[in-house]
Structure formats: C-alpha cells, structure tokens
A and B are shown apart, each in its own frame.
Chain A
Amino acid sequence: MLAYVIRRVFQSLIVLLVVGLVAFSMFTFVGDPIDNMLGQERTDADIARLRAQLGLDQPFPVQYLRFLENAIQGNFGVSYRQGRPVAEIIAERAPATLELAFVSGLFAITFGIGLGVFTALRRNGWAANTIMTLSLVGVSLPTFLIGIVLIYIFSVELNWLPSFGRGEVVDLGWWTTGFLTASGLKALILPSITLGLYQMTLIMRLVRTEMLEVLRQDYIRFARARGLKDRAVHFRHALKNTLVPVITVTGLQLGSIIAFAIITETVFQWPGVGLLFINAIQFVDIPVMAAYLMLISVMFVMINLIVDLLYFAIDPRLRVDRTAAKG
C-alpha cells in the first residue's frame, strides 16, 4: 500500500516535469516576449539589456533548470503585462476559480449520482425518461451557450441572479470568499450550473449505466432473496459497487471542471485564473500562461492521486491484491 502510494507520487512527479517542459518551451517557441515588452521605439541595446536581465540569453537547458528551480519555490517570474510577480496574481485569482469549481463539482456529483440512481431504479418511468432525454441536451450543448441561455433567462428576463462577477466578497487576508455574503452566493449559482452541467449529465448517465449493470448481478439477487429492504439493496449493496468505476471518471471530470472554467469565467466575467489565462493569451503573457499550465497539471495529478487512493478505501480486493503481489 505504502509502496504503491510512493510509486504513484513518483509517477506524478514525472508527469509534472514533462508538463513543466512544455510550459517552459512556450517561452522559446511562442513569439519573442521582448517584442511585447518594449514598444516601437526600442534600441538594440534595450533589447540586449532586457534579454540579459530576464536570463533569456542563457542556453535552453540552463533556462529550463532555472525555471524549474523557481517554479518549485512558487516563483513563476513576472507578468509581462502587469509587471507583477505571477505567483501573486494567481494567488489573488485562485480563490474565485476554486470556489466556482468546488460548487460546480458539488452540484455535478450530488445531482449526477442522485439522478443517476433515480433513473436506474425507475428505469421505465416517465420522469426517468424525461431526465434521460434532457440529459442528452446537457451533454451536447456547448458550455458557453448554456451560460448565455441561463444569463438570458435568469438575469435578463427574470432579473433574479447577477449575470457577471463574483458579487461582494469577504477578504480573509489570504483568501477572498463569496460564500459569506448573499450577493456572493447568488453570483455563484449561474456559473456553477453552467460549469457543472456537462459533468453532471455525464456522471448521471454513467451512474445509471453502472447501476443497471450492478442490479443484474447475482449478489443483488441474493440480497433480495435474503429479504433485505429495497433501500438496503439499492444503496448499501448496489450503489457502493456502482461507485468504483464512477470514481475514476468523476475524478477526471473534476479536473476538467477547473480546466474548463476558462470558458465559463469568460462568459460570466468571473475574476478567476481562467479569465486571467484568456487575457494572458491575448497579450502573449507567457509567464502567466506557463504558471497556469503548471497549476492545472498539479491539480489534475493531485486529483488522480486522490482517486487512486479512494479505490483502496472503497474496494477491499485491491488492498489484499497489492500486498499479495508485493509478496
């Protein structure tokens, strides 16, 4: 078990190194930052001085090692556009994105599993069929369209919820939260649904399929034959077995919630790292782009690690097989 965890952590580190290489390559291959930083009226001397100042005159491997060294210390350099440390800018923006991702994830998992179980148990009911049909819409509509439609209905026509921004936030010093004010909570609703809807329908369809599969198993028949209550059969026996495969996909989906936040943040002008990234692309602000890439990959890797560990918590067969395989 411990050996397995260590091996997974090691693999994660390799993934991060590779992503770091890609992120770093952007500096060299995506345009020349000097062009953007200095205006039209520049001299060759200016260029050379800035190049030396930023360390861009060093050979590629040296630059990469320096990049890694700095990145590990949380130093991603200075934003070309804002002239401030990237780490500071991201730390400022991260709470907005993380809160949005958290609420969307919660929404996706709660409703995904709930509706998935419901549609599996009431397989032929009209309500389940309606939900299944609607879920096709959820899977096929692009995120930005869902966002715009929601804004049109709930902000423009009904005027119930704000169409952009985070509302009032409370500054806790190291974290700004929208959870503590009414307007902050209201502002979270539409973006969270927009961001989580695709994941929710995906989880729901997956839970339904898995649940129907599990309900056909012999141990479910045996549980029924033993006279257990439907609730125990469905939730204690069936749902737990359903969750094993569902966790993998759900974990990956949570990662993509953070990554796809870019689109939702753009539609709702949500002041998170996604919006920061979009703006950074427009200005070829490579330090910000590289840091964002690293941040997202760290989150993906961490979520995957947690998912792998969750297997152990849920499926006892893995615990034994691993130790047995170790001898």
Chain B
Amino acid sequence: MTDPVLSVRNLTVEIPTRRGVLRPVDGVSYDIAAGEILGVVGESGAGKSMTGNAVIGLLDPPARITGGEIHLLGERIDQLKGEALRKIRGKKIGMIFQDPLTSLNPLLKVGEQLTETILAHLPVSQSDAEARALAALEEVGIPAATQRLNSYPHEFSGGMRQRVVIALALCAEPSLVIADEPTTALDVSVQAQIIALLKRLCRERGTAVMLVTHDMGVIAEAADRVAVMYAGRLAELAPVQQVVQAPQHPYTDGLMGSTPLASLGQKRLRQIPGSMPRLTALPDGCAFHPRCQRATDRCRSNPGPTLAACNGRAACWHPLTDEDRAAREATA
C-alpha cells in the first residue's frame, strides 16, 4: 500500500475554559488512503466534527490543537498558519458542510462562487475558470448547468444546493475531502443520491474522503473503513463489514444494535442505557464504562484502554467475541 493521503497521529484538541481544560479530541490516530472513504461516527459531541475541523485548520478559538501531528501527502500541516494554510484549503483539502442552505453565500451567483474558488487556487484565466465552473456543475449532475451558473443559491432546492456545495469543494481537485454530515439536513430521498454522487466522484478521482456522520446507514452505504468515536476518543477502527457485522467495542455494538439496518435482519432495536458523559466530567479509565455491562475494575481505573494498548482495533479491555454475539442471539 502506498503512503496514505491523510495521516493523523495522536491528535489532541483542547478548549481552555474557566472550569478546566476540555479535550473534545483526545489522542486520535487514523490514516486515509487515496480513493478510500473513512466513515467517522459517534453521537453529538463525540468529537467527530472537531476532528475534521482540526485537519483543515478551522477550529474556532479558543479550541486548538495541543498535541499530535497531521500529515497530508507526507507534509505536516497541523502547524501551518496564514497564507500556507489558505493554500491547502480548497486546493488539497475540500470541505463539505452539513447544511447546504447556509453554506452558500446568498448574495453571490453560484457561478461567481465557483470561479472565485477556482481562481484562488489554479493559475487559469477568468474564461478558463468559468469553463471549469460549468464543467464542475455538470459533473455533480445539475441540469441546464449553463443557465444555473447565473442562478443564486436560493433558486436551488436543498439537494441541488448540496450538489453545488460538492462542486465547490471539489472544483480545485483536492486530494482529501472532509464531508461533515453532508446529508443530515437533506430529505431522506435525496440523501442516497448525494452519497452516491460523493462516492462516485471520489472513486473516479482517487480522492480520500473523511465522511463524518452520525448515520450508520450512510456509513454502511459509503464507507470503506469506520472510525467510531466516543467522548473524544477512538472506540473502534475497522473495515466497515467488520464494524457492522461483528463489532468488538461494546459501544459500537450498542450503536449497531440501536440502528435499524435492513441488512442486519434484527427483530428489535436495543438501546444503550445512559448518555455520553460531558467533557467536563469524564470518568476515570474507559469513558464508556458507566454505560457498559461488561465493565470491570480494570475499566474504571486509569490508564484507560486505547487502540494501541488493546488489539489495535477496539479500545476495550474486554472486546466482544463471536461467542458473545452468538450467546446473545441465543437468548434473544
């Protein structure tokens, strides 16, 4: 395997507050290869979006990266500032936001927003940029693209706007795309189209994708590998088939059990008792232990489990085995 496009090592993001330092992202490591889609899942506040924002350098102060390294195409990017950072944004890393209704400037024509982005990164003339903008719109499947270049964002439907957003994120041909909940704000009927579009474009170009979502359905549909986050830490990192069908971390297992997936053929949804701890009051040891039926004294004491300290796949001292799952099936 060649070098990964994105390599994140022990990434830690901290927010200093009056009540102490919060760690929304704590020692997270993962790679994404060219053409690979890494799904990042977790509940609200698990640090998924924060991880994406940290990679593109868009953390809102006072949040900041306090530890670890981020490498993009072999180049370290977590310490870049100002102009150097601007040059990789859009050019090497494209970002897609959650809400297409608010991520386009309402006062600028779609064509203007595309050409300005192209001109910011590529050494082309105005007319070349316009031609590329047209091609970009056509590529994301917008009908009558020539006329649509002169349309304002409010003249598009939600799904069409998200297509425009994707065109904008991809128009300078970045090597990595961070899609932060790209389908959450869309109608269910449109979600699958958008995911299929994103998947197709990235496969064609060999773009690495970090797909942040809380929707396991989207993950199962699109991702190659899955990173499950819980309270700022990685709970499990594995190929999508394994995560969906044979989760090892009790949290992943709970997450899958509570997701209605037709492919799993399950009869009743299970729920995970309790809720995710607040960052101000993280328990000792494994952050999941208060909600975990398998928790032992070891789980309640520091240091907590990490991927590296455990089997490299699930950050858990007592990962679920096939026998455990079989036993549960039997009792159900």
Contact = CB atoms under 8 A, between A and B. Distances in A.
Contact of A228 (B102, B104, B120): B120
B58 interface: yes
Contacts of B108: 236-237, 240
A240 B107 contact: yes
B89 A227 contact: yes
Contact of B102 (A218, A223, A224): A218
B107 A232 contact: no
B168 interface: yes
A229 B107 CA distance: 18
B97 A227 contact: no
B56 interface: yes
Contact of B152 (A217, A218, A225, A317): A317
A317 B90 contact: no
B289 interface: no
A219 interface: yes
Interface in A197-240: 217-219, 221-230, 232, 236-237, 240
B148 to A, nearest CB: 14
A226 B107 contact: no
A229 B119 CA distance: 11
Nearest to A317: B154
A320 B106 CA distance: 13
B120 A222 contact: no
B97 A218 contact: yes
A148 B102 CA distance: 49
Nearest to B151: A316
A241 B95 contact: no
A253 to B, nearest CB: 23
- The CB with the most chain B CB atoms within 10 A, among A223, A230, A317, A320, is that of A223
Given A226-B168, A227-B90, A219 B116 contact: no
Contacts, number: 83
A225 B154 contact: no
A314 interface: yes
Contact of B154 (A222, A232, A237, A316): A316
A219 B165 CA distance: 10
Nearest to A216: B60
A209 B216 CA distance: 40
A221 B120 contact: no
Contact of A227 (B104, B107, B120, B154): B120
Contacts of B154: 316-317, 320
B104 A219 contact: yes
Given A227-B120, A232-B116, A317 B106 contact: yes
Interface string A243-270: 0100000000000000000000000000
Interface string B80-121: 000000111111001101010011111111000000110011
Given A224-B58, A225-B90, A314 B121 contact: no
B172 interface: yes
A320 B155 contact: yes
A244 B107 CA distance: 10
Interface residues of A, number: 24
B105 A219 contact: yes
- The CB with the most chain B CB atoms within 10 A, among A217, A219, A221, A229, is that of A219
B169 interface: yes
B58 A227 contact: no
A230 B169 CA distance: 18
Interface in A126-176: none
B155 A227 contact: no
B89 A237 contact: no
Contacts of A230: 86
B103 A219 contact: yes
A320 B109 CA distance: 14
Nearest to A226: B90
A69 interface: no
B121 A221 contact: no
Given A219-B104, A221-B97, A317-B152, A227 B168 contact: no
B166 to A, nearest CB: 12
A46 interface: no
B279 to A, nearest CB: 22
Given A221-B97, A226-B120, A227-B87, A315 B107 contact: yes
Contacts of A223: 105
A226 B106 contact: no
Given A227-B89, A228-B120, A320-B155, A222 B103 contact: yes
A222 B95 contact: yes
A191 B180 CA distance: 55
B97 to A, nearest CB: 6
A252 B123 CA distance: 45
Given A217-B102, A219-B106, A317-B152, A227 B86 contact: yes
A236 B116 contact: yes
B152 A227 contact: no
A299 to B, nearest CB: 29
Contact of B106 (A224, A228, A232, A241): A241
A225 B107 contact: no
Contacts of A219: 102-106
A218 B90 contact: no
Interface string B188-228: 00000000000000000000000000000000000000000
Contacts of A316: 106-107, 109, 152, 154
Q: Please name the 7 residue pairs, one residue from A and one from B, whose CB atoms are nearest each other, closest first.
A: A227-B90, A227-B89, A225-B95, A218-B102, A226-B90, A222-B103, A316-B152
Given A227-B88, A228-B90, A244-B107, 6 more contacts: A221-B103, A225-B90, A226-B120, A227-B172, A236-B108, A240-B107
